[in-house]
Structure formats: structure tokens, C-alpha cells
Chain A
Amino acid sequence: MKCDRCDNPATVHLIEMTKAGQKVEKHLCEEHAIAEGIAVKVNHAPINELLEKFVLKHAGTTMEPTPLTCQQCGLNYEAFRKTGLLGCPDCYTAFEGALASLLERAHEGVAHHLGKVPAHAGANEMRQQRLRQLRQELDQAVAAEQYERAATLRDQLSQVEEEKA
């Protein structure tokens, strides 16, 4: 069976009931099913595939990759796409936009570091870090209905916030 929208084979078949109680059948290829918001691409796509999509997205409608290049080390985004390896710490800034969604997918949707802070990063960064951690733990405690724990965490939070002031 062909897709309702194009000549590709239909792989997604859907029967919808309208409000009037009428049956509407849809037969779509994967691409059009995604376009209609019926099918979703598999979440855990391999890294190369993810990167490819970002490049295409940034390249607009043409297949040519955007000439994104890190000024610090000279690595271009195309080379990163091939190896999955960045060229230097500054690449994270140079490719920030393109990397954002990749990072989100690779790390459960979180985009901010939580954890060890090197000594040289300074006291302020340590405090920011602690605040973020406490806030996250508080959210989790509330979600799990652990109210006593939540209260303790709230106290700790205001304590750390006061230190800042």
C-alpha cells in the first residue's frame, strides 16, 4: 500500500474516529507519519544519526553542512560529526547551538552540570552548585511525598542562600 501523501510504501496505518463518529483511515510512510506527528523517531538514535540531523537542521534545506568552525582549534563541525570527538574545550562554545540538543538527548534532558567542582573554580561556583543540587533534591523529595526530608532540604537551601547574601 502506498502512502496517502506520496509514492513511498505506507508503513504507518491509523484508524481515527472523528467527533461525528466517522472512521477515517490513514496510511502513511514514516516520513509523513512523523510530519503529521503520528509517529516519533526512536529516542535512542545512534550518535552519528543524531549529529547528522543537527547538521541538516543547521544547513537549512540544502545538504551542505554549515561551515561551523571552532576559531580556537580549527575543527569544523563536519569533522566532529564524523568522529564524535571535539577538538578543544572551546568547541563547546563554538558549537553550542548544535550541541545543545545532542547533550540533552545524551544526558536525559539535563543541560547543567551537577557534581564535583574543581578547587580552582572558586567558592562562588561551589555555592551555585550546592544550590542547584539542593533544589533538585527538594523537587525529588516533594515528588516522592517525603515531606520531612523536603522540610530539611528547604532549611538547608535558605541557609546556603543566606550565606550568599
Chain B
Amino acid sequence: MSLPDLAENASPWLRKAGPEGDVVISSRVRLARNLAGYPFLTQASPTQRRDILHMCRRRILDSNLAQRMLWVDLSESPRLDRDILVERHLISRQHSRGKKPRGVALADDETIAIMVNEEDHVRLQVLRSGMQLDEAYAQADHIDDTLEAHLDFAYSPKLGYLTACPTNVGTGIRVSVMLHLPALKLTGEVDKMRRAAKDMHLAVRGFYGEGTEAAGDLYQISNQTTLGRSERQILRDFAEVVIPRVVEYERRARIALLEKRPVVVDDKVHRALGALRTARLLSSEEALYLLSAVRMGVSMGRLDGVSMAGINELLLLTQPGHLQRMAGVAMSGAERREFRARYIRRRLGG
């Protein structure tokens, strides 16, 4: 696997819809760790920064964490490659835009991504399709154990794993679930969900995390508390309380919509598919909006001949970085809109 290959297809884990795939797009677990005996990155000297990078890189690549691991040296890679990694949720925007020595190790199926020298020395994440938090955590925990056998992570009995930002201290865990909630959005109940999540100290964000709008009715719910609650407790909250409830509300809202206003639903869904099949110019926001409506139609059984996996794939491949890699040239916003519309027409048989 190399970076150019990446842009041709959606992430392998995304191509198959996982458990609760009608509502849950993906599950993600991230652990933040820092090497003991070194300063955090804000105070690390250039030499220390390089030492940390080399040490972590060697440990990660020597650990047989996946069949194949690819190392990407981000200070050497072109902007477009980094954009593609951000679009695939393999690195953060912050990591993409950094200036200093840093990198990321990726498993060939893209379920594992380990950022080195982001905000913390090591940020390891495991991604799974659908609702698979337990599986994702089990793997993240295993990777953590494997790395820890050779690396000494900063830890205090009172505060747990020590992180650069005190809001991550303790378990250093961030559990995130990406949800597609078009019916709750249509019925206006999504705000209720937001408030309920806030009461449980959970953050609700858009497609691209912090500070982003919920484009395409995609919402990301994640924990904020990392101290005083164990990994298991946090996972249990998600798996037994939060996610099942949101999934149930969304499904109920979809059924209610179909019972009360089937024509409205069909109109929205078919109109969206029609626009995708015929448009000559599509911005990424509009594409996301239309794809979201089509995805809802597919999951509600209102559309034939369009697959959920295909729509999931388009959600990713029609983003700016991926389009430019496919086109093989850098494109302006206007050129991208045209290329995006053409690509979607071809994929959806317009």
C-alpha cells in the first residue's frame, strides 16, 4: 500500500457496513500516551523531538501490529497526501498542518493509525465500521500493551496517563461514534439529542470533529471526561446507554416519517438522487447533503439499485483531496465542482 493507492478506493473498513450500519457509520477509540523521561512536545528541543519520533517509529514498526504497517513521514509528504489522510480520518487537521518532525503509522486496512508527535508523543487510534466499540477498544488496548512492553509511558497513580493537555489526563481515551441522523434532523429532535448528550458530559460534533458543522446529517459523539472513569465504564455508557438510545430514536423517527409522510420522504430521496445523477456542478457541501438524503432512502428501503457501501464510499471520495488525487492534477474550487459532479454522475449511472 502506498499513499497514491489510497485515494482510488474508500477505506476498506468503510466499504462494508458494520453492525447498526443504517445509523452508525463508524466507531473509533483513541489513546493518548507520552514517553516518560521526556518533556511534552511544547517544551521538547528539536533533538528530543527527533529522538521521540525515531524511538516510537521503530517500536511501532517492529511490533507486528498488523499484517503490514506503512510509515508516513509527514514533514516530508506533500500537502495533498496529508489532506487525503485527514479526509480518511487517519490524522487530525492539526497533525497535517504541523511544521516539525512528525509522522503516522498506518495499518494496510486503515483500521489502525498511530500519530507520533501530534499534541502528545503517541496517539493511537482504531477505527471500525458500524457499532464496534468493544472490538475497537480491545485492539487499541492490545496495541497499547504491545508498545508499553518496550516504551515507558508517563503515568502517575493519582492522575493516570499524563497528557500534554489536562483535559485528556487519566485514561487518555477518546471514544467517538459517527452517526447518520437524517430523520432526527428532519423532525427537529436532533437538538434534544444534543442536550441529552451534553448532560452526560459528551461532546457532539460534526463530520470533521471539533468546531465543524454537522454537514450531511453526520454527527460525532465522543466522551470528554477522561479522569475518574475507567475505559470500561466509558465504553459501557456508549454501548449500553447512549448509542442504543440514539439509534432507536433515529429508527423510530424514520418509521414515523414513512407512516405519516411517505411522499415527502420519497420526494426528498428521489429528488436528491436525481440531482446527483444530473448536476453539472456540485460543491462538497451540496454533495454531502444530497448523498445523506440518498443514504437515508437506501436504509429505509425506498431506493433500488443503489448500495449503502457505494454511498459511504462516495461520501469520502468526493472530498477535495481525493478528487484531486483521482484527477491527477491540482484543481481550483470551480474545477473541483465540475469534476465532482461528473464523477458522481458516472458512479450513480446518470
With an 8 A cutoff between CB atoms, is B119 at the interface? yes
User: What's the count of A-B pairs with C-beta under 8 Å?
Assistant: 120
Are B43 and A75 in contact, CB atoms less than 8 angstroms apart? yes
B157, A128: Cβ atoms closer than 8 Å: yes
Is B43's CB under 8 angstroms from A102's CB?
A: no
Segment 27-45 of B: residues with Cβ below 8 Å from A: 34, 36, 38-40, 42-43
Q: B43 touching A73 by the CB < 8 A rule?
A: yes
In the complex, whether B159 has a CB less than 8 A from a CB of chain A is yes
Chain B: number of interface residues, binned into ranges:
35 or more
Q: Whole-angstrom distance between the alpha carbons of A114 and B231 in the complex?
A: 8
Q: How far is the CA of A116 from the CA of B155 in the complex (A)?
A: 10
> By the criterion CB–CB under 8 Å, are B166 and A102 in contact?
yes
Q: Is the interface of A mostly helix, strand, loop or mixed?
A: loop
Q: Is the CB of B170 within 8 A of A107?
A: yes
Question: Is B228 in contact with A89, judged by CB distance below 8 angstroms?
Answer: no
Q: How far is it, in angstroms, between the C-alpha of A91 and the C-alpha of B145 when the chains are bound?
A: 26
Residues from chain B with Cβ under 8 Å of A92 in the complex: 156, 159, 162, 166, 169
Contact A87 B155 (CB under 8 A): no
- Cβ of A129 to closest chain B Cβ, rounded Å: 8
Contact partner, B164, options A72, A86, A102, A111, Cβ 8 Å: A86
The 17 listed contacts between A and B (C-beta, < 8 Å) are A47-B167, A73-B40, A86-B42, A86-B165, A89-B34, A92-B162, A107-B226, A108-B201, A110-B228, A113-B157, A113-B160, A113-B227, A115-B231, A115-B232, A118-B148, A118-B153, A121-B157
Nearest B residue to A88, CB-CB: B39
- Report yes or no: B42 in contact with A111, Cβ–Cβ below 8 A: no
Mask, A121-152, CB within 8 Å of B = 1, is: 10001001000010000000000000000000
**How many Å lie between the Cα of A130 and that of B42 in the bound state?**
34
**Which residues of the other chain, A, contact B153 by a CB distance below 8 angstroms?**
118
With A and B bound together, what is the CA distance between A91 and B40 in angstroms? 10
Q: Let me know if B171 is at the binding interface, CB within 8 A.
A: yes
Residues in B with CB closer than 8 Å to A87 are: 39-40, 42-43
A119 touches B171 (CB 8 A): no
